[in-house]
Amino acid sequence: ETGVTQSPTHLIKTRGQQVTLRCSSQSGHNTVSWYQQALGQGPQFIFQYYREEENGRGNFPPRFSGLQFPNYSSELNVNALELDDSALYLCASSPGTGVPEAFFGQGTRLTVV
Amino acid sequence: AQSVTQPDIHITVSEGASLELRCNYSYGATPYLFWYVQSPGQGLQLLLKYFSGDTLVQGIKGFEAEFKRSQSSFNLRKPSVHWSDAAEYFCAVAHGSSNTGKLIFGQGTTLQVKP
């Protein structure tokens, strides 16, 4: 059984650019959530996808968007990058059976310069 | 609104000493509660969870936590800390009626272990 995998592990972008982060969910999981973790802070919920539909969104602007594919993998897209977007982005997958257990990937470290 | 508070930002204990990390939550219904651990630059690993039933739950790496509804607390404990336990610890509560893994996290507690 493979766990949650994220790519890339690190990347550096320039302010104003766009970025796409990718996540492969754990086998058998149909729900993917994305979190932003700023340095020294706890993770903040961005949004969740359940069976390819958005299922809840946190307090993030529309330039944060996502997709979930038929194989339940997911993308997080951020447009018009700002310096404050620099953070560790975590993907978590869940079985989606009403049990709220989330399994996290290793994260993508995004640095905006 | 749901929230999680971890009152201690940083804790230092000696190796072999006991440990208790505090967590208080605010939630209208019966909460689903979690403790995660994070090593520097890494993702989150689930230590233990409480959904219902026995209020004392056992987790991995010798950790346990006790749910106390009257105090809205879910404190994490370990009888004897090892140097490898040094990390960031996060308490979290499940958020939303669907309960499909949307979590609200506390700010975290950094654990330092002295030799």
Question: What are the distances in angstroms from CA B41 to CA A13, A74, A112, B22?
Answer: 19, 22, 17, 23
Mark yes or no for CB contact B46/A107 under 8 Å: no
Of A42, A56, A93, which has the smallest distance from its Cβ to B90's Cβ?
A42
Q: Would you state the pLDDT for residue B100?
A: 62
User: Whole-angstrom Cα distance, residue A68 to residue B45?
Assistant: 23
Mark yes or no for CB contact B103/A98 under 8 Å: no
- Which of A72-76, A91-95, B88-92 is predicted least confidently? A91-95
Q: What is the pLDDT of residues B44-75, one digit of tens each?
A: 999 999 988 889 999 999 999 999 999 999 99
Segment B18-37 mean pLDDT:
91
Paired strand residues for A94: A31
Task: For residue A109, give the nearest of A7, A1, A5, A2 by alpha carbon.
Answer: A7
Token output for B88: 């960031």
Mark yes or no for CB contact B100/A104 under 8 Å: no
Token output for B24: 């208080």
User: Whole-angstrom Cα distance, residue A76 to residue A52?
Assistant: 13
Confidence of residue A51 (pLDDT cuts 50, 70, 90): confident
- Judge whether A102 is closer than 8 Å to chain B, CB to CB: yes
> How high does pLDDT run on average in chain B?
91
- Judge whether A33 is closer than 8 Å to chain B, CB to CB: yes
Segment A57-72 mean pLDDT:
95
